Structure 1
């Protein structure tokens, strides 16, 4: 059987306090509890640590040796607890964050400087992947996912939402004309996703009800690829505001079919394992993103 921390604490307290009764008062335990802890410890070690008389307790030679080791173990534990308390007060350590490349580039990277200025003892490790990953396999602390969540093994915190809308470059619209109604899209080059197919369900009000399924002429796995194609005048894309808001502000992309577009907001969630205690370095990162990516963050 292994020695327990409770037994070590009882042994050291008895030596320091001079009696089992005083040690019990010091540790807030019963006299019988301290006595049993000492008995178990000596049985496990198969040696006598304290010589007991009616008047006092005295360390044996073996007890003197074991006391030194006990004090070192308890001091090491105290030091570890102090370090953890310091990390909670001042988060530190490596933080591995995963997100789809468009979100990482347009939403996370612009905030990195401010975050590290506030938390200089955190080392960020940024990983991009356009498909959902296994957090454990990739040794990821937190992943940011756009859209509905399906993995029930993960704990999620909502960071914000982002509107999606149809966009094209002024150059494309000058060459091909601006669609006036949903049916006009049949005469245009559509830019869409290879997967999942649900991303090609555009938020348009049409005769078949709410939602219109686009059949892409050019398909890509990454939203950033579709954004670059749209900027290059290659077609109409349905993009989220987190990656396209600045393009609209600068006039590089303009919205089409605004009157026929339904309000469709994609949820932005940070996920981590449910059985993971939220470390301070993760918590401060999520708090920071939530404050910056709240309502109105993407215009």
Structure 2
């Protein structure tokens, strides 16, 4: 017996829109059709997929893992249809993109503007957040992530390297002294960037690893939020080049211990597991891959 693909697609729509009514409106059918499709799928599976009350709709424990399968089934079907329609036609439709906040504002948003100028029939929903997006669950077509990626079912392409820099103002270093080795940081005020959790790790030319616990007056999950305190001379921070690059170039900040810098973190482009993608998504991936290489380069360094 063939699977009830329509029921799986309707189930995915209910999960995404969190109600039968909203799902019905989104896919252009009446609420009764949605209810019948979900009931049909529940009957085939022999288990309830939702807890229903007059005020709340929630997935059952059985429904939670099946929701991921439903999303993939729907995404692959949509991609297959769009790929067939896209051949030889103008690129059109919506693309959902996720990127880290600071990197997205500085590097991704300008590229999105250029891409839209070249493809006026495309619309892009750009989601900028330092919280890690769930590419599949959030329906993201293209995700950019700065991380050491764990094993994953996502399709990942490394675009380049993002290096972190240990920086402070010249005035802070003049007043407090400049660290000559990572161990010297123990006596300094260290501003914490919580998107790089754990101790600060360094590695010398001989491969010697050293860890330093960051402790100081400010911790934030946004590197941009640390900049005012950093530029006010309140401490030392370890931040990615795309955040501190302009301040390093101007000399407002200087870099310390470059010989002890840890290995670079990768900039990755992520897509859902399915190899089927609409032509508009393939075009954006190619565009971002081509133009996001230069921002990965190190900023000019102003040392002591």
Measure how far apart 1:195 and its partner are: 5.4
Conserved? CA contact 2:168–2:253, under 8 Å: yes
Question: How is 1:207-286 mapped onto 2 (pairs within 5 angstroms)?
Answer: 209-217=208-216, 218-259=218-259, 261-262=260-261, 264-286=263-285
Change (3 A) 1:154 1:185: same
Conserved? CA contact 2:147–2:267, under 8 Å: yes
Measure how far apart 1:127 and its partner are: 0.9
Partner of 1:176: 176
Aligned mates of 1:125, 1:161 — CA distance in 2 = 26
TM-score by length of 1: 0.64
Partner of 2:87: 85
Question: How is 1:69-218 mapped onto 2 (pairs within 5 angstroms)?
Answer: 83-87=85-89, 90-194=90-194, 197-198=197-198, 200-205=199-204, 209-217=208-216, 218=218
Change (3 A) 1:282 1:232: farther
Measure how far apart 1:190 and its partner are: 0.4
Conserved? CA contact 2:201–2:262, under 8 Å: no
Measure how far apart 1:85 and its partner are: 1.6
Change (3 A) 1:135 1:251: same
Residue-by-residue CA offset, 1:198-254 (whole Å, 9 max, x unaligned): 4x4333439993242332312222233234432332211111112222221122221
Q: Secondary structure at the match of 1:161?
A: strand
Determine if the alignment matches structure 1 residue 288 to structure 2 residue 287.
Answer: yes
Conserved? CA contact 2:203–2:209, under 8 Å: yes
Aligned mates of 1:81, 1:278 — CA distance in 2 = 7
Conserved? CA contact 1:98–1:127, under 8 Å: yes
Aligned mates of 2:82, 2:134 — CA distance in 1 = 30
Aligned mates of 2:83, 2:104 — CA distance in 1 = 35
Conserved? CA contact 1:160–1:290, under 8 Å: no
Aligned mates of 2:86, 2:197 — CA distance in 1 = 46
Conserved? CA contact 2:153–2:273, under 8 Å: yes
Conserved? CA contact 1:201–1:214, under 8 Å: yes
TM-score by length of 2: 0.63
Change (3 A) 1:136 1:175: same
Question: How is 1:52-67 mapped onto 2 (pairs within 5 angstroms)?
Answer: none
Query: Rg: which structure is higher?
Result: 1
Measure how far apart 1:98 and its partner are: 0.8
Aligned mates of 1:133, 1:296 — CA distance in 2 = 22
Aligned mates of 1:80, 1:162 — CA distance in 2 = 34
Change (3 A) 1:108 1:195: closer
Unaligned runs of 5+ in 2: 3-80, 299-304
CA RMSD across the alignment: 3.0
Conserved? CA contact 1:182–1:204, under 8 Å: no
Aligned mates of 1:132, 1:215 — CA distance in 2 = 23
